């Protein structure tokens, strides 16, 4: 069954570190259509920030390129794709290990994929050496009725 989308967006920007903040704001504005909680919105912004930063620092290294970001909204989730046409990741499994970094000289923690995985409900990484990397992340936005029920359960304890 094909999923229908409530809305879609696509954005391209130069791989400059200043554009990481732009990507965070753009995705927050788009995701706000689902009426997420502040925490859900912070999770989305943080995951996008990590993915975009990876494209800039690792994908393109010292060269400039284009980072692409697209997002789709369904009834209760956002699906985000962030991609570059950079150098690609040699071994995705190793890159996903906590604290692994190819740039130990930079003040980076090597936790980008770990952060993305912990803040999003699903993450897929596709990478081909010399052609680039695409990260697809999904975040489900809980319906507000659930929050009201949780609040009532806490209040009644």
> Catalytic residue positions?
50, 54, 108
> What secondary structure letter does DSSP report for 119?
H
Q: Using DSSP, state whether 97 is helix, strand or coil.
A: coil
99: left (phi over 0), alpha (psi -120 to 50) or beta: left
Q: Using DSSP, state whether 90 is helix, strand or coil.
A: coil
Q: Is the dihedral of CA 140, 6, 113, 13 positive or negative?
A: negative
Beta-carbon contacts of residue 5 (< 8 Å; ≥ 6 apart)? 72, 73, 74
Q: Which two structure tokens, joined as six digits, stand for 126?
A: 């596709």
Report DSSP letters for 6-37, one per residue: SEEEEEEEES-TTHHHHHHHHHHHHHGGG---
């Amino acid at each position: 069954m094909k999923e229908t989308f409530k809305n879609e967006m696509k954005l391209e920007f130069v791989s400059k570190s200043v554009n990481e903040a732009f990507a965070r704001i753009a995705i927050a504005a788009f995701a706000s259509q689902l009426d997420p909680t502040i925490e859900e919105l912070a999770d989305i912004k943080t995951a996008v920030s990590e993915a975009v930063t990876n494209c800039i620092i690792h994908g393109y290294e010292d060269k400039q390129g284009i980072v692409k970001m697209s997002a789709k909204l369904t009834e209760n989730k956002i699906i985000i794709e962030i991609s570059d046409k950079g150098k690609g990741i040699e071994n995705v499994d190793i890159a996903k290990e906590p604290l692994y970094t190819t740039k130990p000289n930079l003040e980076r923690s090597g936790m980008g994929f770990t952060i993305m995985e912990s803040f999003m409900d699903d993450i897929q990484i596709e990478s081909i050496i010399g052609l680039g990397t695409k990260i697809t992340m999904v975040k489900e936005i809980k319906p507000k009725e659930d929050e009201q029920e949780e609040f009532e359960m806490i209040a009644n304890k």
